[in-house]
Amino acid sequence: MLDYLAGRFAQLLIVLFGVSVVVFIAMHLLPGDVATLLLGDRATAASLARLRHQLGLDQPVIVQYWRFLSGALSGDFGTSLRDNRPAFGEVLQAFPVTLELTLSALLLAVAIGVPLGVAAALNEGTWIDTAITTPTLFGVSMPVFWLGLMVLLVFSEKLGWLPVGGLMPIGVHMARPTGLSILDAVLSGRSGLVWQALRHLLLPAATLATIPLALITRITRGEMLSSMNLDHVRTARAKGLPESRVIRAHILRNALIPIVTVIGLQLGLLLSGAVLTETIFSLPGLGRLMVDAILARDYPVVQAGAVFVATVFVLVNLGVDLCYAVLDPRIRRQ
């Protein structure tokens, strides 16, 4: 296991180095000159040259990359071109919103998807199976940004049940020590705020959960069906174990390994979907921050956001791989 861990850690370092190179190259291809972006079109040639020297833009590319890498390692990506605040600070401030949204969506997808997949598998070929699997086909084909608009139209505009967007009603102020709305509302000790936080989170989380929910339902059904005919399941039945125990302890447990992996791998899908969901529901998360930064050519924020998200993504994938290795000894021996 130690050899496996060392190997995976070495891979992680190589990938993170590659991530820094990709982000650095991408930002160097940015249209326009950074010094002009900072000082505006009316800047004199002398002031532009002075700023380029200050920023190190007149240095060889390899020196610039080294400065970027050493800055990145200490969380220094420069300051935002829009509001002069530290770029990494803006990313850290926006991240809890995205984290809360993605985790809520994942929780919804797992809590609904796994039981639905189990029910479909146990009723294979019946109307229950069809009633569950047909909507999953629609679910995986759903453009999340369109679905978001439609649920807003129905649940906010027509029915008036849920708010149109944002984290809290306009005019309601709450201290945000963690940045996670629900947790902050709980910490505030005001039950009304917890209710409001949940109401504001429900539609975006449900929208973002659609595709992972459909995928988790399908994979659970498929894995359950594969496990149902295995020898150890037949043996368990032959021993006279109650069917509920056979399903729980022998079929579902065996099917859970690939299901857990698929659940972990939904993160990329969720982080991508979060960019669009945050736009529709006016949530001040990392995705929205990145898009706004790109449109405003605020490259320090784009750099900080890209490196941060990729690092989180790589670490989560590593965590999933390690879980898989713990659950399945064959992976460790490879």
For residues 201 and 100, the answer to whether their CB atoms sit within 8 Å is yes
Q: Is 215 in the site for other proteins (CB under 8 A)?
A: no
Interface stretch with other proteins, choices 9-17, 74-82, 123-131, 321-329 (CB under 8 A) = 9-17
**Least distance to other proteins from the beta carbon of 303, Å?**
9
Q: Is 26 in the site for other proteins (CB under 8 A)?
A: yes
**Least distance to other proteins from the beta carbon of 201, Å?**
20
Residues 241-300 binding other proteins (CB under 8 A) are 267-269, 271-273, 275-276, 279-280, 290-291, 294-295, 299
Q: Is 10 in the site for other proteins (CB under 8 A)?
A: no
Site string (294-333) toward other proteins, x via CB under 8 A? xx---x--x---x--xx--xx--x----------------
**Least distance to other proteins from the beta carbon of 30, Å?**
6
**Least distance to other proteins from the beta carbon of 196, Å?**
21
CB closer to other proteins out of 188 and 279: 279
Q: Is 149 in the site for other proteins (CB under 8 A)?
A: yes
Q: Is 138 in the site for other proteins (CB under 8 A)?
A: yes
Considering only 1, 10, 18, 172, the residue that binds other proteins (CB under 8 A) is 18
CB closer to other proteins out of 4 and 145: 145
Q: Give the 3-state DSSP-derived string for the chain, with helices as H, strands as E and coil as C.
A: CHHHHHHHHHHHHHHHHHHHHHHHHHHHCCCCCHHHHHHCCCCCHHHHHHHHHHHCCCCCHHHHHHHHHHHHHCCCCCECCCCCCEHHHHHHHHHHHHHHHHHHHHHHHHHHHHHHHHHHHHCCCCHHHHHHHHHHHHHHCCCHHHHHHHHHHHHHHHCCCCCCCCCCCCCCCCCCCCCCHHHHHHHHCCHHHHHHHHHHHHHHHHHHHHHHHHHHHHHHHHHHHHHHCCHHHHHHHHCCCCHHHHHHHHHHHHHHHHHHHHHHHHHHHHHHHHHHHHHHCCCCCHHHHHHHHHHCCCHHHHHHHHHHHHHHHHHHHHHHHHHHHHHCHHHHHC
CB closer to other proteins out of 66 and 138: 138
Interface stretch with other proteins, choices 15-23, 44-52, 124-132, 169-177 (CB under 8 A) = 15-23
Q: Is 143 in the site for other proteins (CB under 8 A)?
A: yes
For residues 276 and 46, the answer to whether their CB atoms sit within 8 Å is no
Of 290, 155, 130, 266, whose CA–CA distance to 210 is shortest?
A: 266
Tell me which residues touch other proteins (CB under 8 A).
11, 14-16, 18-19, 21-23, 25-27, 29-31, 137-138, 140-147, 149-150, 152-153, 157, 267-269, 271-273, 275-276, 279-280, 290-291, 294-295, 299, 302, 306, 309-310, 313-314, 317
